[in-house]
Amino acid sequence: DLTTYHPHKSVADQNRHHVIFPWTKQAGLKPKEIMRAEGVYVWDGSGKRYLDLAAQLACVNAGHQHPRIVRAIQEQAAKLCYAAPQFATEVRGRLAQMIAEVMPGDLNKVYFTSAGAEANEYAVKIARTVTGRPKIIARYRAYHGATHGAMSLTGDWRRAYNEPGMPGTVHAFQPYCYRCTFGQEPGSCARECLTSLEEIIQFENPEFVAAVIVETITGPSNGLYVPPDDYMPKLRALCDKYGIMLICDEVMSGWGRTGEWFAVNNWNVVPDIITTAKGLTNAQVPLGAVVVSGRIAEALEEQTLWAGSTYSGHALACAAGIAAIETYREEGLIENSRRLGTVLLSELQRIQQRHPTVGDVRGRGLFAAIELVKDRGTRAPLMPAREEPYATRGGLGAIKRALDEAGVMVFTRPNLIGISPPLNITEEQLMEGLAALDRALDHADAMLLE
Ligand code: PLP
Q: Coil, strand or helix: which one is 213? A: strand
- pLDDT at residue 139 tops 80: yes
- Atom index in ligand 1 nearest the CA of residue 147 equals 16
What's the 143 CA to ligand 1 centre distance in angstroms? Answer: 7
Pocket test of ligand 1: the residue of 23, 61, 141, 143 to mutate, having most ligand atoms within 8 Å of its CB, is 143
Tell me the per-residue pLDDT of 164-180, one tens digit each, with 9 for 90 and over.
999 999 999 999 999 99
Q: How far apart are CA 257 and CA 66, in angstroms?
A: 17
Distance 156 CA to ligand 1 centre (A): 14
Nearest to 60 by CA among 422, 326, 340: 422
The C-alpha atoms of residue 294 and residue 110 are separated, in whole angstroms, by 11
Atom nearest to 215 CA in ligand 1: 3
What's the pLDDT tens digit per position in 11-41? 999 899 899 999 888 988 999 999 999 999 9
Provide the strand spans (E) within 59-139: 109-113, 135-139
Residues in the ligand 1 pocket, defined by CB under 6 Å:
57, 115-117, 143-145, 215, 219, 221, 249, 251-252, 277
48-82 residue pLDDT tens: 999 999 999 999 999 999 999 999 999 999 999 99
142 has a pLDDT exceeding 50: yes
C-alpha span between 61 and 41 (Å, rounded) = 13
**Is 102:119 a contact under the CB 8 Å cutoff?**
no
To test ligand 1's pocket by mutation, which of 61, 248, 251, 275 has the most ligand atoms within 8 angstroms of CB? 251
DSSP letters spanning 354-392: H-TTEEEEEESSS-EEEEEEEETTTTEESS-SS-TTHHH
pLDDT at 228 over 90: yes
For residue 229, pLDDT beyond 50: yes
Residue 163: pLDDT above 60?
yes
Domain 32-62+332-447 class in CATH? alpha beta
pLDDT value, residue 393: 55
Residue range 423-450: mean pLDDT, rounded = 94
Average pLDDT, the chain: 95
Residue pLDDT, tens place only, 339-392: 999 999 999 999 999 999 999 999 999 999 999 999 999 999 998 766 554 445
Q: How far is the CA of 434 from the centre of ligand 1 (A)?
A: 26
Q: What is the DSSP letter of 2?
A: -
Question: For residue 389, what pLDDT is reported?
Answer: 46
Percent of the chain with pLDDT over 70: 96
What is the pLDDT, as a whole number, of residue 395? 62
Domain boundary assignment for the chain: 32-62+332-447, 67-330
Task: Evaluate whether the domain defined by 67-330 bears CATH number 3.30.70.20.
Answer: no
